[in-house]
Amino acid sequence: MNLPYKIRLSIYLTTASAMLVLMAFLLIYGVANWTLIRNMDNDLERETAVHQDQISLIDGEIRFLHKDEWEEREHQETQFHPIFIEIVDSNGKQLDKSPNLGNLRLGFIKDQSESKIGFNQILGNQELRTMQIALRQGNKVEGFLLVAKSFEESRTLLNNLKTILFLLFPLILISLFLTMRFLAGKSIKPVQSITQKAHLISQNNLNERIPLPQNHDEIYSLTEAINDLLNRLENAMKREQQFTSDASHELRTPLSVIKGNFEVLIRKPREQEEYINRIKAGLEEINKLNSIIDQLLALARSQKGALDIHEIDLGSMVQDLIDSILNNEGRHVHFLNKSEMPVYVKSNEKSLFIILTNLIQNALKYSKEDSEISVTIWKENNKSLLEIKDQGIGIEKEALSNIFNPFFRENAAELGKVPGSGLGLSIVKKLCDQLGIYISIVSEKGHGTAVRLIFPE
């Protein structure tokens, strides 16, 4: 049964409070019972002290010295707080008794050598509190004095107390539940307010935030966490919108160029050379379009699932990549391993290959053909490091904070001559975040760029 949180909280609090109240009631009853019995035993002790002085041993038999004492009202009658007395020998045989006992006998605990012991018993139709006292001659127990007093009034008081507590308990439970329900309702009001406000926030008003409460408590922390989540969602949505806009623009430009070339060609007959030039221009735009699509696919793949991580020889991978560039493009990249031993890293081979390819290609792309490009690897504090340095055009300081954004290209005259989509570094950053690789870029305009990768231990 799915109960509202307010009701469940009320039930939990009421149950816990009910257990405490029950323990308090049991303690009250126990204390009352102990107090009444203790008072009764004190009265019996005083009574036995009086009667012990009237008992002596004569010819090995126990007798009262003043028999007239037994003629008193408290020993003759069975009402008005009578005192019952019985004397037995060590085996429990009755030697004498008070007249008010009649044919009845008081309870006797055999083999009990304690000087005083109290216990309850039923005599006829009433409950008595009895005290058994050992009568000694020297160190020998000759018999026992049994003194009893009615426990009816005390029992009635205890029964009344039990009834009152029994009747009070459900009333207290109901009162506790209603009180806890009221307090639980008040305690979750801030949560309800947060829920209502959160329901009003949608894609159209994602800039709105939930007001923070005045008290810096758990509700404040919850509200703060939700607002932080909304901030991240808003930023992610803005990046997605910007990405979509930039992607549309980047795709639309080569398509417009291709469309324009075809429209020019079909307007009227052209020379063969012009057809060839227009088609070549179209092919260049198609190649650019393919490059953008490939980069977009790589960016999408970098955001999917967990990667297969295994040990990779970093130096071997860099060397293979440099050899491939030399064979295909004729450009030379200087490689240096500062460590005497091979440098191994735990990473994903395909992702790491994409990272290194993009970074080295960027270094080549933005540097003159005769300038030096170097790749250096080494070990430091149990971590593997890789640095790619070039002597190219460099990056403005103001642009360094945006270079990992998709489609971002620094607004400089030099970049107009360099083909690119602005997705390379964005893909590198995404893959580095997935692999736990820290990437940093230091650059100075006109003096080149240094990219450093720090691999996890």
- Could you report the per-residue pLDDT of 64-123, keeping only the tens digit for each? 566 565 555 445 544 556 788 888 877 778 887 777 887 888 888 876 666 677 888 888
Sheet hosting strand 438-444, strand order edge to edge: 334-337, 374-380, 383-389, 448-454, 438-444
DSSP 270-286: --HHHHHHHHHHHHHHH
**Beta carbons within 8 Å of 177's beta carbon, 6+ residues apart:** 10, 11, 14
**pLDDT top residue among 382 and 293:** 382
Which of 354-377 are b and which e, b meaning 16 or more Cβ less than 10 Å from the residue's Cβ? bbbebbbbbbbebbeeeeebebbb
Is the pLDDT confidence value at 43 over 70?
A: yes
DSSP strand pairing (126-137 vs 140-150): antiparallel
Q: What angle do CA 141, 143, 149 make, to 5 degrees?
A: 125
C-alpha 287 chain-centroid distance: 53
Question: Measured between alpha carbons, how far is residue 349 from residues 309, 354, 359, 426 in Å?
Answer: 8, 9, 15, 19
Q: What pLDDT is stored for residue 353 in this prediction?
A: 86
Q: What pLDDT is stored for residue 376 in this prediction?
A: 92
Give residue 254's identity as a one-letter amino acid code.
P
Could you tell me which of 249, 305, 237 has the C-alpha nearest to residue 423? 249
CA pair distance 23, 244, nearest whole angstrom: 67
Q: What pLDDT is stored for residue 409 in this prediction?
A: 64
- Tens of pLDDT, residue by residue over 118-176, are 888 888 888 888 888 887 777 777 778 888 888 888 888 999 999 999 999 999 989 98
| Res. 252 pLDDT band, cuts 50 70 90 | confident
**pLDDT top residue among 251 and 46:** 46
DSSP letter at 407?
T
**pLDDT top residue among 344 and 63:** 344
Q: Work out the burial of residue 203: count CB atoms within 10 Å of its CB; fewer than 13 is exposed, 13-18 middle, 19 or more buried.
A: exposed
CA pair distance 406, 394, nearest whole angstrom: 19
CA pair distance 406, 296, nearest whole angstrom: 10
Q: What pLDDT is stored for residue 384 in this prediction?
A: 92
CA pair distance 169, 333, nearest whole angstrom: 88
Of 152-156, 272-276, 411-415, least confident by mean pLDDT is 411-415
Give residue 104's identity as a one-letter amino acid code.
L
Q: Per-residue pLDDT averaged across 209-232, rounded?
A: 86
CA pair distance 423, 410, nearest whole angstrom: 12
Q: Compute φ and ψ for 61, nearest 5 degrees.
A: -120, 150
**pLDDT top residue among 256 and 115:** 256
Question: Measured between alpha carbons, how far is residue 89 from residues 97, 122, 194, 293 in Å?
Answer: 12, 22, 83, 114
CA pair distance 238, 304, nearest whole angstrom: 20
Max avg pLDDT among 213-222, 271-280, 383-392: 383-392
DSSP 194-207: HHHHHHH--GGGTT
Assign 4 to helix, strand or coil.
coil
Q: Work out the burial of residue 18: count CB atoms within 10 Å of its CB; fewer than 13 is exposed, 13-18 middle, 19 or more buried.
A: middle
Assign 31 to helix, strand or coil.
helix
Q: Work out the burial of residue 295: count CB atoms within 10 Å of its CB; fewer than 13 is exposed, 13-18 middle, 19 or more buried.
A: buried
Q: What is the CA radius of gyration of the chain?
A: 50
Could you tell me which of 33, 25, 338 has the C-alpha nearest to residue 168? 25
- Tens of pLDDT, residue by residue over 181-205, are 888 888 888 888 888 888 888 878 8
Q: What pLDDT is stored for residue 78 in this prediction?
A: 46
Q: What pLDDT is stored for residue 20 in this prediction?
A: 92
Could you tell me which of 311, 323, 333 has the C-alpha nearest to residue 387? 333
Is the pLDDT confidence value at 372 over 80?
A: yes
Q: What pLDDT is stored for residue 48 in this prediction?
A: 80
Q: What pLDDT is stored for residue 412 in this prediction?
A: 46
Is the pLDDT confidence value at 387 over 90?
A: yes
Question: Measured between alpha carbons, how far is residue 293 from residues 204, 298, 345 in Å?
Answer: 30, 9, 30
**Beta carbons within 8 Å of 16's beta carbon, 6+ residues apart:** none
Q: Calculate the average pLDDT of the chain.
A: 80
Q: Per-residue pLDDT averaged across 308-313, rounded?
A: 87
- Tens of pLDDT, residue by residue over 165-176, are 999 999 998 998
